Homo-oligomer: A and B are copies of this chain.
Amino acid sequence: MGATMKRWQLPSFGLRNLEQVEVPVPTPGGHDLLIRVSAVSLNYRDRLVVDGDLLPERPAMPFTPVSDMGGEVVATGDGVSRAKGGDRVLGNFWTGWIDGAPPREMTRHGLSLGGPLPGMLAEYVILHEDAAVAAPRSLADREASTLPVAGLTAWFALVETGHLAPGDTVLVEGTGGVALFGLQIARAFGARVIVTSRSAGKLDRARALGATDVIDTTKTPQWSGTALELTHGSGVDHVLELIGGDNLGQSAAALASGGRISQIGFLKGTDIRLPAVPLMLKRAVIQGITVGHRRAFEDLIRAVDRFGITPVIDKVYGFDQAPAAFAHLDRGPFGKIVIDVRG
């Protein structure tokens, strides 16, 4: 490697301020890894961070955005024991959350990558060894880079907290990154999957990916009745709630007894609203989800290798095209947007 590298950064918030700079390649100390980034993937969260709409406190500026990364370890600090040069690694979003409950103090290295901690949109990054996990052998870095946020979110909702079982019915809303991971994980576990979308074309693509049934919400805005019909009146066991607002009323109505809504996104408004009685009679659970811990991430990676899950990438952009990649996010990709950092 050279002495310098390229990095995107924000001197102040706003996508138009995103600038590419040439800076020295950092040196890893103590328990740090120096990682040559191969690919990053974008999440809607990154867009909010870039626009200054997410973080309650302003991070150190200039700030480099983007949470998701796949790359290769090229140098290590003296104290490193979890990884070595040449290892292919991914970053663990909540850097200090290893297993069980998150530690009460997430102050030292317990915050999240890509805001408030520095992000991954650079040719080289530094990660504490505890925040790195081995990449899946069965995936190239482009695909692997989509796992840390979207993949783990779907896995944490369905498997880690949801105890997904064969024969369960999963309903996923839309066809973004988390939704399609939900679809693929559920199918791998032998679950039925219902996908909702306003786009007939996207529903066709979801079906091609294995969706058991689809509901076009342009035609059927009150979609819970259809979900009940498709399950012969039993209802669905899991909902990946990516819409929020009063859409939870539909989710609660569609739910089976003992079912679970994983609250993940809120496209339709930051307040959720639903009737109490079906929630109570069904002994249903609404579970807030924001990504997950490292142990579950390692479980996901093992399952990806075992089941041969290939993440769905809508489009790959080159490193210099980062602003265009962000703009694509606004148009609602089918699956993930990736930036090939070496491209």
Interface residue from B159, B244, B287 paired with A283 (Cβ < 8 Å):
B287
CB distance from A310 to the nearest CB of B (A): 15
Nearest B residue to A281 by beta-carbon distance?
B290
Question: Are the C-beta atoms of B102 and A257 separated by less than 8 Å?
Answer: yes
Question: Are the C-beta atoms of A285 and B283 separated by less than 8 Å?
Answer: no
A103 to B132, CA, bound (A): 13
- Interface of chain A residues 266 through 293 with chain B (CB within 8 A): 266, 270-290, 293
Residue in A103, A283, A288 with the greatest tally of chain B CB atoms within 10 Å = A288
Which chain B positions have C-beta within 8 A of A165? Answer: 159, 299, 303
Question: Are the C-beta atoms of A272 and B273 separated by less than 8 Å?
Answer: yes
- Interface of chain A residues 110 through 135 with chain B (CB within 8 A): 129
Nearest B residue to A105 by beta-carbon distance?
B82
A289 to B275, CA, bound (A): 14
A163 to B162, CA, bound (A): 12
CB distance from A122 to the nearest CB of B (A): 23
Which chain B positions have C-beta within 8 A of A281? Answer: 288, 290
Q: List 20 A-B contacts (CB under 8 A).
A: A31-B108, A79-B108, A81-B105, A81-B107, A99-B101, A100-B100, A100-B293, A102-B283, A159-B165, A163-B163, A167-B299, A167-B303, A190-B303, A264-B280, A270-B275, A272-B273, A278-B288, A282-B288, A283-B290, A285-B285
